[in-house]
Amino acid sequence: MLAPADSTLATVPTFNALSDIYTSDLLKHAARFQLLTEAFIATYGFKPSFIVRAPGRVNIIGEHIDYCGFPVFPMAIVPDSLIAVRATREHRIRLANINPKYPSREFSCESGSSVTINNTTHEWTNYFKCGYKGAIEAIDCTNPQGMECLMDSSVPSSAGLSSSSAIVCCAVLATMKVNGRLLPKGDVVETAVASERYIGTNGGGMDQTTSIMSQSQSAVFIEFDPELKITPVKFPSTDPQITFVIANTLVVSDKAVTAPVCYNLRVVETRIGALILAKHLGIADHRACKDADPLTFKVVMDEYFATQDTAGSDDVQVWIDHLDAMLHASTEAFGAHPDGYTREQMAAVLDMTPDALSAAVHEDRFPVRAQQFKLLQRAQHAFSEALRV
């Protein structure tokens, strides 16, 4: 459920001047937009009707805890993805890219359920398809418009700056606008988060939220549970000014390709960790835990302290105390297996079969490969990183 905050209920803004988007290097940005427009005309024979934009992001504090339900503190960056778009009467989606490295593709634009995404093949247009499919489903569009699209991105791919999420966000925005149903920002975020999971990565939502909800000259404090809440944070004026250096190491790591042994594995370890921690704390049969899908470390912590009287207490100190207690509890729950658990050991703790445990954490959609599951390390990281945030 979305928080009743203006930021989530607001609509995605439309700008007519680049100075409303960028604060510097306007001539460089103008040349890029002009090149995109000219390339669109050369490709399709018409001017684009509009251009959608979604920036990349860098995370300041809060690594790998959004999918645990904990807050994060990222900010959007200037590098962004752009997609020039024109609606057509054909029932086709045509996709092209400024970068010749990425081949042009097209597919039939029918209902969202008919869009197939082969996530066994690493293909840039799959990310557009994810956003398109999610948007069509979100707006319940049964007769979608055709589109001609040309993309340009200045976000380095596979560099940890959310280039894939920027494409998904652009696709969601373009599809909604072409079909006349541009939803409020909060719904766009939820659509983009759910959409990217079609590629096979079980993400938590930080990347898409940052891209859609960020404001100029501000970082953003994002809370996911119990509801989405966005707090822009302006940095204080200093002399010299605060400067963030974003360095590209040129080491490539594609999240979708390595998901079964990296990203999705971490998510599954936290999901199973939450199930075992809830049982260890004696709250596994509480409705808040039984009904949660997924059950996260944040839900477990909140339910464990749900009856605690904190009236008159400092909220920040209560938060710190709860996280410290969970760090201690996770050591008790998982400390006997410092090198990890096998599937059989985790299932036995939960009185489940390995197959039932796999189904409970949705490995049918997000398969993982591991001999040992590092539950202690994941729990300690999640609670200690949440303390930093």
> Residue 370: which of 295, 378, 193 has the closest Cα?
378
Give 132-164 pLDDT, tens digit per residue: 999 999 999 989 999 999 999 999 998 899 999
Q: Which residues pair with 81 in a beta bridge?
A: 54, 153
**pLDDT, position 6:** 57
Q: In the Cβ-directed half-sphere of 161, how many Cα atoms lie within 13 Å?
A: 23
**What is the Cα–Cα distance from 93 to 212, expressed in whole angstroms?**
23
| Residues in contact with 59: Cβ distance below 8 Å, sequence separation at least 6, in sequence order | 72, 73, 74, 206
Cα of first residue to Cα of last residue in the chain, in angstroms, is 23
**What is the Cα–Cα distance from 93 to 148, expressed in whole angstroms?**
6
Per-residue pLDDT of the chain (389 residues; tens, 9 = 90+): 333 445 788 899 999 999 999 999 999 999 999 999 999 999 999 999 999 999 999 999 999 999 999 999 999 999 999 999 999 998 899 999 999 999 999 998 866 667 889 888 889 999 999 999 999 999 999 899 999 999 999 999 988 999 999 999 999 999 999 999 999 999 999 999 999 999 999 999 999 999 999 998 899 999 999 999 999 999 888 999 888 898 888 888 777 778 889 999 999 999 999 999 999 999 999 999 999 999 999 999 999 999 999 999 999 999 999 999 999 999 999 999 999 999 999 999 999 999 999 999 999 999 999 999 999 999 999 999 999 99
SS3 state of residue 356: helix
Supply 205's token pair.
Answer: 């939502």
Supply 236's token pair.
Answer: 């204080």
**pLDDT, position 258:** 87
Rounded (10°) CA dihedral 104, 107, 111, 113: -90
Sheet holding 146-153, edge to edge: 50-61, 73-88, 146-153, 92-97, 105-108
> Residue 178: which of 152, 153, 148, 198 has the closest Cα?
148
Residues 134 and 191: beta-carbon distance below 8 Å: yes
> Residue 124: which of 90, 92, 149 has the closest Cα?
149
**What is the Cα–Cα distance from 268 to 174, expressed in whole angstroms?**
32
**pLDDT, position 115:** 87
In the DSSP assignment, the letter for residue 351 is T
| Residues in contact with 239: Cβ distance below 8 Å, sequence separation at least 6, in sequence order | none
Angle between helices 163-178 and 206-213 (to 10 degrees): 60
Supply 356's token pair.
Answer: 């039932």
Residues 124 and 161: beta-carbon distance below 8 Å: no
Supply 243's token pair.
Answer: 């400067």
Supply 342's token pair.
Answer: 């096998």
Contacts of 285-290 with CB under 8 Å at 24 or more apart are: none
What backbone phi and psi angles, to 5 degrees, belong to 362? 60, 45
Query: Which residues are designated catalytic?
Result: 207
